[in-house]
Amino acid sequence: MSRKSSPNIKILLDTSFLLPILGFETSHEVMSAFQKLYAHTLYYNDISILEALWKIVKVIKGEESEIKRILEGIIAIRNTMEYAPISEKAIENSINMYKLGHRDMIDNLLYSIALSEGLRLLTVDKELINFIEEHGFPKQYILTLEELTQIG
């Protein structure tokens, strides 16, 4: 019996999934997803790098080794992932999401990039997922960890 190969999915990574690449562990749940990601085409946007840096600067001391690790992570992201641009359509959609009550513009932009570029946003953000479901936004552009582990 031949085993069917898993499909290559174009995945936009939420900020939680960039933090480990920058040298900062997140939840076990997020860390365990990395073994599944190698088989897919990964995308990032600089807005996630900015959000990651906001989180990182709160916890680092600013030592040279910490900064070096972050820079190595940025280089790794840029060299191994595709860049997903923010289109006008994505900006318009993210503003509409904000006006409907979802106040996290980073999440709004990431979801809207996935929507406009035909990607799946890998996220653990239940609030975002619930908002999308409640307001009838297309859910096929969201990828949960549960769905990721079921692929293949």
pTM, entire model: 0.93
pLDDT at 3 over 50: no
Nearest to 10 by CA among 110, 121, 97, 92: 121
| Position with higher pLDDT, 76 vs 2 | 76
Residue 5: per-residue pLDDT: 57
Residue 72: per-residue pLDDT: 97
Residue 14: per-residue pLDDT: 97
Residue 151: per-residue pLDDT: 83
Angle at which helix 46-57 crosses helix 64-80, to 10 degrees, equals 160
Residue 101 gets the label, from left (phi > 0), alpha (psi -120 to 50) or beta, of left
Query: Encoding tokens for residue 104?
Result: 């996290």
Residue 46: per-residue pLDDT: 97
pLDDT at 29 over 60: yes
Whether residue 130 contacts residue 139, with contact meaning beta carbons closer than 8 Å, is answered with: no
- For residues 80 and 62, give the distance between their C-alpha atoms in angstroms, rounded to a whole number: 26
Domains and CATH numbers, the chain: 10-150 (3.40.50.1010)
At 42-87, the pLDDT tens digits run 999 999 999 999 999 999 999 999 999 999 999 999 999 999 999 9
Angle, vertex CA 33, rays to CA 30 and CA 39, nearest 5 = 150
> Burial level of 69, CB count in 10 A (0-12/13-18/19+)?
middle
pLDDT at 100 over 70: yes
pLDDT at 2 over 50: no
Average pLDDT of the segment spanning 115-132: 98
Residue 7: per-residue pLDDT: 81
